[in-house]
Each structure stands twice: as C-alpha cells, then as structure tokens.
Structure 1
Amino acid sequence: MLGKSHAFRYRDATVIITLPTRDQATESHDEGSRAYLDGYVLEYGADIARTAGINTVDVVVQQGEAIDVPIEIFARQPKAVDLLSAPQQQRLDDIVTASTDIASNAFEYWLSLLRWKTNNFRIGRREPLDNQSGWSTYLHDTETHHPIWAATIFLNVNFSSAITENVWEEVRSTAERAEETPIFYKLLDDAHESHNRREFRRSIIDAAIACEVFMRSLVMNKVPLELDADMRQMLEEANINQYLRKFVPNLLAEKRRTVFKALVNDHLNSLFDVRNKIMHMAREDRATAENCIRFIKATQTLFEIGKTYE
C-alpha cells in the first residue's frame, strides 16, 4: 500500500493523494515520521511488518491553468517577487488560494470515503486529550490520609479497521464516480467521535439525526418522482413516529421488519426520546456513556437492516 495514489476530479481540478513510500517509513512510531511500520510478525527468523501507520500524505492539485514565467525563476527559491510583475504575482496568489481550498476540501472528502468504506471513524482524526494522570483513584482515611483502597485499573484497547487493497480500490472507484459519502454515515462518525471525546449530549443528538436522515432517505428514495410535489413534501415533513411505525416497516421484508420493530421498541424510541429531552427541555441526565454506546450500536443495526434499500 505504501506509495500508492488516488487521482480523481474535484471542483474542476484533478486531485492526486499519495501515501508515503516505503523509504519514507520509519521502523517505529517516531515523532514527526510520515509513516511507520507496524504489525510485526516473525517469519523465517526475522520480524516482518504487515501494516503501516500513516501520519501524512501528499495532496497535489492540478487545475489545468498555464501562466508564463521567466526561465530564471527555476534557479531561485520560491516566491522570487523581483522576477514577476504585480499582475503575475496576483495571478499566482489567486491560484495558490484556490488550490489550497480545493486541496483542503478534497482531502476531507477523501477521508470521509475512507471512514465510510472501513467503518472506522478514527481515520484522519486526532485522539482526544486525556485528562487522567494514569494513576488509580484511592480512598484515604480522613485523619491519617493513609490510602486504604484503590480502584481497579482497566485498559481500553481500540480496534481500527485496516485499509486493505480491496478498500483502497473501493475508495478509488467511488472517488472517480464523484460519489459522496452519505450524510447519515458522516453523522454516525460524528456520534462515534463525540462519544470518544466524552461529549455525550452531542453524540446522542448526532446518532438520532443519523437515524432520522437514514429513514427519511430510505422512504423518499422509494417514492415515485412523478408524485405530486405537495404530497412529496408532506411525506418529507412527516413526524418521525410515522417513519418508525408505518413508512419504514412497510418497505421491509417480513424478517427484516421483525428485526426493525424490535430495534424500535428496544432502542430507537428511547434514542429519540432522549434526543428530544436534550434539545427541547435541556435535560441531560440520560446523556451517559452507556446510552451513547447503546444508541450508536442501534444506529449501526438500522443501517444494516436498511442496506438493501440504499
């Protein structure tokens, strides 16, 4: 995978995103390394790296514009202003500004495809700042301050989906088709990220909106285009309970309908109730880590149930 590139059209430009090469990868996760080798296994008496972690990629934007510059500029450091007229300098500045905007947005688009195809919200996102010291919590005697009890220490191990050759090809073909990551997948990623940062209110709101957008998309994609505009608007604006009780179940085969109804009763009703309490009544007593995990899993299950109709 190291050294591979994706090239795709984005905003009337060609964008090329390239992973670091094997020569640019360090043997361990060094500070400032572009990539590092990982997942070592012992083969024939030698440690062989099976995976690599990527810290930076190259993003090249080709806009297809040409501008004449003096030959002397190629022997100078960048931005030799004495060799260019003011209009030429302004034109180059405009190209730089446009290219920066395209590169930034194209990179985020590319990351969204990677997260979508790997189902890994962590790609391209920083780990949250840890406000814990690493020491256990102790109970002390109030008079002598002698520690008499210590909390059990738990270790959290995060699992991340690797970007395999198959995933790489899926992202390439998706980008070439200029296909966008569905907004409900982005919202689910945001719910994961907020939970990871212990922002439980936001996580629950994102999960609820992800479910709502998914169900509305599911139904509206099945509505005939020739349907009267007012009737279509009525369906689009219908209360979410109509989708939970009638619209979505009517689309599903019997087995999936049974699973969906159980999901509604066990989790989705609770999710929308908690969302409403947070947004409309400022009550956050149910915005807990446990509920975040429960609702995120329910959202993922909903996506699986309705995947046939995407």
Structure 2
Amino acid sequence: MSQLASINRERDQWSAALGVSVDAPAVEVCQAFEQFAHKLAPQDLAGWPMYCLAVSSLPDDYAKAARFRGGWHNARSYFSVSRHLPRDAGYGPCLFVNDLLSHELALQLVTGAQTALARRGEIETIDELLQYVQWRRPIEFLCRVLTHELGHAIEYLVDGEFECMKAVHDRLPIARANLTRNQDAYLAADAATETSRPEPPPPQVDAHGLRFTRIMAHLQYRLSMLGVDAVAHDVAGERFNQRHFAACEVALGNEPYKYIDQSFESILALPFPPEFAACQLKTRSAADADAALARA
C-alpha cells in the first residue's frame, strides 16, 4: 500500500470511529475524541470529565507555548483553561492538540523540501514552497496526538495525581485559587520561553519511559479493535532511550489482547515481561559503569 493510500485509509478509519466527517473542524474532532477516549480506557476514566482542546480555539498564550509541540498534557492544566471551556464539568484531564502548523515548523518543512528539490536541480524559493503548506492539521494527526496525550493522562490517573488534585480543588478554595494563579504563571512562562526559543527543545525522555510505552501499546491494540489501524508514533525509539516501538510491542507478547478488558491501573501493577524490560536502552554512562564493575 502506498503512503498516500495508507494515510487516506487511516483518515477514513478515524472519521468512522469518531463519527465525524473526514474534514471536520478540529474543535469537532476534539469533542468526538472526548467520548471516544472512554472506549479506550473505560475503567480508568470512569467518573472523570475529559477535555480535548484545539489550541486554535484558545487565547494566544497557548499557541505560543505550543510553537514546537504537536500537543501536551498537564495534570494541572484545568485550573488555567477552565474559564475557556465551552462546557465545564469540573476538574479532569485536559488534552491539548496544536491543530494549526506553526510558522516555525512550516519553515523547517519547506527548508528540507527546498534542499531535496535542489539536489534534483529544481530551484524553489521558501515563499513559493510555503504556498503549498497545509496549515490546518488533518484528522489523523489530531487523533494521533490526542491518543499520545491520553497515554500521559492515563499514567497520571493510575499514579493518583488527579485524585490528589481533585481533593485540593474540592476542599480548599484558597488552594484552588493558588493553583489557578500558579498554572497561569506556568503558561505565561512557557509562552515566553517558546517564543524566544530558536529551535525545538530536546525530547522529554523521563516522560516517555517503558510504563508510558506499555500504555501506548495497549492503546494501539484497543484502537485496532475499534477499527483504527493507527501506528503509534514518537513513543519509543532511541530518542527516548528505548528500542523501536515495534520491538517494544512485540516484547509485550499477547498482553494487550489478554488484558483488553482490564483497567490500566491493574495492567501497570503487573511486573514488566522480561523481554519488555530489556527494551530500555542503557545510557553511555550506565553502560560504562557496568563494564567497570565487570572488570573489577
């Protein structure tokens, strides 16, 4: 299957799974994904409102903070974004997706295209190439990012962070006000940092460990059972100090099938299969330390 045919197939699958048109606006896709997420993790999300937010629907600071990001999740984001929610059902996970390609990322894309074309003897200016850029992200991009951020939200839920924050939110009004102010300050700082950053930040290795990769492997299998053959991306590999995601997935064996009806809380309580644990690559310093111990 060609790459274009594969993209169109995934696009149609997401459209059918969410019950929206292929070219639905990002806000509509996000609203549909809020409901769809509960099919992927029904036990863990039970009782929690889920918010999926297109960055273009939010104030400018969100777009500035997301210049180099496809999306993000933070357990405290509700305290900052609640005033902008079209439907506020109380504290819960907030998943953000950057639905418009930033000018910085567009420049990176067209600069690469310009170099590739030049090797073939075709000369195009940056301005000419920018005319072909699709600024609005398609449904498959939005849903892949939202699935990735859902993986982070599930890990936070399993770790009890949302329960802790909800207790603070419900019982201590003064603490709730402080959380809102602090989150506003974090967002403003992120916006200022990203605006002045000349290039993308390094990958967050600590936020994408094997627990997260395990969640994503289970989510990918559950997606396939719901008719979406999406390939998880940016969840493993050497940039996160792990083997390629496909190798991690194979190392889990039939675990996603075996525990498809289980909560992620119960799944993450299980020890890693030995083959899966071996997917964690050692850093150079750790490998050197092991070699020194072996020689001692």
TM-score (norm 1): 0.26
Q: Which has the higher contact order (CA 8 A, sep 6+)?
A: 2
Larger Rg: 1
Larger fraction in strand: 1
Q: Which has the higher helix share?
A: 2
TM-score (norm 2): 0.27
